[in-house]
Amino acid sequence: MAKENTSHNPIRLQKLTYLLIVVLLIYGSVNLWRNFASSKHKKAKIFLKTFNIIQSRYIDETESKYLIYSAVDGMVKSLGDPYSQFISQEAYGEVRIFEKGEYGGLGIVVGIRNNKVIVISPIEGTPADEAGIKPGDVIVKIDEISCVGLSLPEVVKKLRGEEGTKVSLHIERGKHQRLLHFEIIRKIIELKSVYSKLINNDMGYIRIVDFGNGTLKSFKDAIASFDKKEIKSLILDLRNNPGGFIGQAVEISDCFLSNGLIVKTKGRDRSQTKTYRATNSEEDIHLPLVVLINKGSASAAEIVAGALQCNKRATIIGTTSFGKGSVQGIFHLPDKTAICLTIARYYIPDGSLIDGKGIQPDIEIKIPESWYEKSIKEQIELLDPQLEKAVEILS
C-alpha cells in the first residue's frame, strides 16, 4: 500500500482532517456539531493538533489512516467496556458472519471479562464442542500467541480460518486454573439455530443454539411439527446459548406469554429506552414448560429465561447464567470500518439488571465432571442430570 506524505500536500492534509472530524462525530447530528465547537469540546483541538504535528514533524513517514484507526481504537478502549470495540478493515467482515450463517472456524463463542478471553459457549456439534471446550474456559494462548491485550475482534480473527487448518489453544479451566492444551481442526460452521426432538413420545424438546435472524421461524417450524404429535409438555434448552438479536428473543418469549412485561432497555439516547410487552394471540403456547440454562447462557438467552421466570410461566433449571445485560449497536464508519458500542442495558421484568450477575435458576442442578467424560454419542442418547430433572418435573 502506498504511503501518503501529507506534510508536503496541504490539500490532502485538510481532507484528512475533515475525515477525522467525521470519524469523531460518528454520524453526529447538528447538535453534536455544536457541542464539538463549544468550549466543552475545545480539547478536541488537541487531538487534531497532535495529528498534524505527527504528520509533518515525526522523523519517519506515517500513514494517516493508521494514525486515525489507532486514535479511534484508543478512544473506544478508554471506555473500559469489553463489549465496545473499534472494528478495523481487517475485522470488518466479521460483523457480517452472524447474518451470513456460515464461516470457517471452531464453533466457539467468546467474550472478554476482567481482561481475560472467556469461552461463553461452544456451539453444539462443532470442532470446539467435540474437542471438549467448555463454558467458562479461559483462553490464554492461540497458536502460542498470548491473548493478553488482544481485542475481541482480534481474538475472533485468530480463531477463525480456512477449513482443514489447525489451531492450538492453551486454556485455563476451573478455580485452580488447570492448564490444558487443545489442537483443533477448523471446519465450516453452519449456524443452525434450532434443534428439536421428542422425549418419551409426548414431551417436546427444543434446543435454541443462538438468536440469529431466522431463529423465530425455525422455532415456529419446530412447534408446528410437534402439533401433529399432540405433545403434552415442552422443554426449552437455552444452555450454552450466547445470545444474538434482542428482537428474536422478545418474539420467542411472546410465544409463551399472553400478557406482561418481557424486557426493558434503557440508554442515554431516548430511542434506546424501550419497553417490550407480551401480546395475546391464538398461537400462544400454553403447554407446561421447563427452561434449561447454564453459565453459557447469555444476553438474548437471558432475556427469554428472565421473562418466563418473572412471569411465572416456566420453571428454570440448571446453573446461574453468564450475566450479559447490555445491548450493542454497530455504527459503520468510512473506509469499511465500524465501532461496536454498548448503547443500552436491559432489565428483566422484576426490574433486575443482570449484567455481571446472571439469572438464578429456580432449581439448581450442576452437571458433574464425569458427565463430560462420556462420548458425544452417549451424551446425545442419555439424559444429562439437568434434562433428567426437567423430564421428572413435567412427567
pLDDT tens per residue across span 13-42:
455 555 555 555 444 444 544 555 555 567
- Helix H or strand E encompassing 203: strand 203-208
> What is the largest distance, in Å, between two alpha-carbon atoms of the chain?
79
Separation between Cα atoms, residue 371 and residue 307, nearest integer Å: 30
SS3 label, residue 378: helix
d(CA 246, CA 325): 11
Distance in angstroms between the alpha carbons of the first and the last residue of the chain: 66
CB 196 within 8 A of CB 205: yes
Per the DSSP assignment, residues forming a β-bridge with 111 are 118
C-alpha cell at 123: 456451539
- Residues 256 and 199 sit within 8 Å (Cβ to Cβ): no
More confident residue, 227 or 127: 127
| 225, pLDDT greater than 60 | yes
Burial 94-108 (b: 16+ CB within 10 A, else e): beeeeeeeebebbbb
Q: How many helices (H) and strands (E) does the chain have?
A: 13, 19
pLDDT tens digits, one per residue of 288-304: 999 999 988 999 999 99
Domain boundaries, the chain: 6-78, 102-189, 192-330+338-394
Gyration radius from the chain CA atoms: 24
Residue in the block written with cell 435458576? 361
The pLDDT value recorded for residue 319 is 96
> pTM for this one?
0.70
Q: What gap in Å lies between CA 207 and CA 224, rounded to an integer?
A: 15
With contact defined as beta carbons under 8 Å apart, do 260 and 311 qualify? Answer: yes
DSSP code of 269?
A: S
CATH class of 102-189: mainly beta
Residue 2 pLDDT: 31
Q: CA-to-CA distance for 86 and 338, rounded, in angstroms? A: 6
- Predicted pLDDT of residue 374: 61
d(CA 395, CA 393): 5
3-state DSSP call for residue 39?
Answer: helix
* 192-330+338-394 placed in CATH 3.40.50.1100: no
Q: What is the mean pLDDT of residues 167-188?
A: 90
**Least confident segment among 55-64, 247-256, 376-385:** 376-385
Say if 102-189 and 192-330+338-394 have the same CATH topology: no
Upper half-sphere CA count for residue 108 (Cβ side, 13 Å): 34
In the prediction, which pLDDT does 212 show? Answer: 86
Q: Give the model's pLDDT for residue 20.
A: 52
pLDDT mean over 270-296: 94
pLDDT at 58 over 50: yes
Distances (CA, A) of 305 to 18, 207, 290, 391, 395: 47, 13, 10, 18, 21
Beta-strand relationship, 315-318 and 289-293: parallel
Q: Are strands 274-277 and 203-208 parallel, antiparallel or unpaired?
A: unpaired
Residue 164, burial from CB neighbour count under 10 angstroms (0-12, 13-18, 19+): exposed
